Amino acid sequence: MLFTAALVLFLSSCKDNNENKEIASVDIPATVEMKATLTSPPHVPPPTGKRKAKKLIVDMEILEKEGEMTNGVKYMYWTFGGTVPGSFIRTKVGDEVEFHLKNHPDNKLPHNIDLHAVTGPGGGAESSFVAPGHEKVFSFKVLNPGLFVYHCATAPVGMHIANGMYGLILVEPEAGLPDVDKEYYVMQGDFYTKGNYGDRGLQPFDMQKAIDEDADYIVFNGKVGALTGDNAITANVGETVRLYVGNGGPNLVSSFHVIGEIFDRVHIEGGNSINENVQTTLIPAGGAAIVEFKVEVPGTFILVDHSIFRAFNKGALGMLKVQGDENKNIYSGELRDDIYLPEGGGIQSMPSIAEGLESEIPAKSMAEMLEFGKQTYMQTCFACHQGEGQGVPNAFPPLAKSDYLNADPERAIGIVLHGKTGEITVNGEKYNSVMTAQTLSDDEIANVLTYVYNSWGNSKKEVTPAMVKSVRAEK
């Protein structure tokens, strides 16, 4: 109410020197009816462009459904439109939105929706409180341009949000946003599970961890890997990319950053104020920002929450893959690799675990060893040794058809346990790199090595937990 009053005041006071805002948003007529296009992340609906304000019908279905948080970890998500974050809604100032909120009959719980773009009590929550198997309809006029969060506000509110019930609604200004080449939808969220990061099986929501704000997963677009590998977002050199970035929370604030890029423009907190040349922008829980940048050189640019352990240990990592010609004036790539040896040069290591961790669920068969092993591989080894064990030339040795690996399984176990530094020769190529000691249980090491030995043309050896145990004891 206050806001509206302030807006009207503001508009009338600058009427004389601002011809474009002759009529207040409230008075923009919306007569023609149109069905809104909704999209799943990372996609956004087409721009509103030059169209006039309309009566926009938004149809949204609430689904409680099981999904995968990361390899081998299942989670019961509560969703707007079947995805986390929920479907992207794109509107224009003056639009009259007729919102149809449908709660699927199979759902257990009532839900509602609070859209931060709504001027009215509860942001729509009161009018949209809907039982399973029912549909609620309410309407509102969008008055303020900007990028807004929507979320469920049914008790217990925190739990509904923690399970994935949030998304973004964009309200474009009357003239629309400037054209860009690529637009994507990215939204961060934190998740709280009974088990720790990576613990297999269906993981229930953990209320105590949520209250303690002790997140197990902090991810973009609802799961680990939603924006990496084949799911990466893409652009071509020379294009301008606009990201609509939201943060559903429920608890944590995001320090959003794209490694190797500088944001040319940031619509701070999704509002009118634009900041330029920004490295990292803060996105509050229940808030959003629009970031724009031109990609000048090819390569993979990593989206992170720069509270950096979240990125590398809890999942807050995405990829933007840019294709096109290199521009050595902007970025040369590696020019030289010289030796630099100050004192020491000891091996990097993670905190060691003398006893070894107990794996919660031991593999019962070869098939399970391979399955669990693959999960561990994707969580632990994939980043360096790559999806097909091909490694990275000159940096990380291949595991596929690897003579070094196949020659000595005990040596391989030792490397996983204790790490490896210094020059080795694999398949005729020299590598001089560092692998850190891995914090894995005997079972996990047995599984992952068995998986590696039984993949990509290797010798099909089976590595047992007992073998790992004996190598661990040798130390």
Partner 1 sequence: MDSFLKIILISLCIAIFQPVFAQDDMAMVRGGTYIPLYGVDSTAVTIDDFSMDVYPVTNADYLEFVQEFPQWQKSKVKPLFADGSYLNAWESDLSYPNRFSADAPVTNVSWFAAKKYCECQGKRLPTIDEWEFAAMADEKTADARKKESYNQKILDWYEAPKTFNNEIGSTFKNYWGIYDLHGLVWEWTMDFNSVLISGESRKDVDKDSNLFCGSAAVGASDLMNYAAFMRYAFRGSMKANYSVKNLGFRCAKDIPKI
Q: Is 111 annotated as a binding residue?
A: yes
Q: Is 134 annotated as a binding residue?
A: no
Report the distance separating Cα 263 and Cα 255, nearest Å. 13
339 scored as a contact of partner 1 (CB under 8 A): no
Q: Is 76 annotated as a binding residue?
A: no
Nearer to partner 1, 11 or 207 (CB): 207
Report the distance separating Cα 242 and Cα 145, nearest Å. 17
Report the distance separating Cα 72 and Cα 224, nearest Å. 11
Which among 342, 346, 311, 343 has a CA at the least distance from the CA of 418?
346
- Kindly state the tokens that stand for 288: 């959003």
Q: Which amino acid is at 395?
A: A
Q: Is 69 annotated as a binding residue?
A: no
Minimum Å gap between C-beta 377 and partner 1 is: 29
β-partners of residue 39 are 88
- In this structure, are residues 128 and 83 in contact, taking their beta carbons and an 8 Å threshold? no
Nearer to partner 1, 127 or 188 (CB): 127
Interacting residue with partner 1 among 64, 183, 292, 444 (CB under 8 A): 64
Stretch that binds partner 1, among 16-24, 114-122, 219-227, 296-304 (CB under 8 A): 114-122
Minimum Å gap between C-beta 163 and partner 1 is: 8
Nearer to partner 1, 150 or 451 (CB): 150
212 scored as a contact of partner 1 (CB under 8 A): no
106 scored as a contact of partner 1 (CB under 8 A): yes
Burial (CB count within 10 angstroms: exposed 0-12, middle 13-18, buried 19+), residue 158: middle
Minimum Å gap between C-beta 302 and partner 1 is: 33
157 scored as a contact of partner 1 (CB under 8 A): yes
β-partners of residue 299 are 322
Asked whether the CA dihedral 266, 268, 273, 277 is positive or negative, the reply is: negative
Interacting residue with partner 1 among 48, 154, 188, 402 (CB under 8 A): 154
Q: Is 152 annotated as a binding residue?
A: yes
Taking CB under 8 A as the criterion, which residues in 192-211 touch partner 1?
A: 204-205, 207-208
Number of residues that bind partner 1 (CB under 8 A): 35
Stretch that binds partner 1, among 106-114, 172-180, 183-191, 453-461 (CB under 8 A): 106-114
Nearer to partner 1, 1 or 335 (CB): 1
Asked whether the CA dihedral 448, 454, 459, 463 is positive or negative, the reply is: positive
Q: Is 165 annotated as a binding residue?
A: yes
- In this structure, are residues 268 and 284 in contact, taking their beta carbons and an 8 Å threshold? no
Report the distance separating Cα 360 and Cα 463, nearest Å. 18
Rounded alpha-carbon distances, angstroms, from residue 93 to 14, 143, 167, 243: 18, 6, 19, 20
Minimum Å gap between C-beta 63 and partner 1 is: 10
Interacting residue with partner 1 among 47, 67, 82, 122 (CB under 8 A): 122
Minimum Å gap between C-beta 107 and partner 1 is: 8
Interacting residue with partner 1 among 1, 155, 341, 367 (CB under 8 A): 155
- In this structure, are residues 399 and 426 in contact, taking their beta carbons and an 8 Å threshold? no
Interacting residue with partner 1 among 17, 20, 31, 108 (CB under 8 A): 108
User: Where is 208: in which H helix or E strand?
Assistant: helix 207-212
Contact string (CB under 8 A) for partner 1, positions 19-58, x = contact: ----------------------------------------
143 three-class SS: coil
385 three-class SS: helix
- In this structure, are residues 73 and 199 in contact, taking their beta carbons and an 8 Å threshold? yes
**Structure-token match 């996609």, residue found:** 43
Interacting residue with partner 1 among 125, 268, 297, 320 (CB under 8 A): 125
121 scored as a contact of partner 1 (CB under 8 A): yes
Q: Is 385 annotated as a binding residue?
A: no
Asked whether the CA dihedral 354, 358, 363, 368 is positive or negative, the reply is: negative
- Please enumerate in sequence order all residues whose Cβ is within 8 A of that of 224, keeping only pairs 6 or more positions apart, or say none: 69, 70, 71, 217, 315, 317
Q: Which residues are annotated as a binding site for Cu cation?
A: 111, 116, 151-152, 160, 165, 306
Name the site residues for partner 1 (rule: CB under 8 A).
64-66, 76, 105-110, 112, 114, 121-122, 125-127, 129-134, 153-159, 163, 204-205, 207-208
Q: Which residues are annotated as a binding site?
A: 111, 116, 151-152, 160, 165, 306
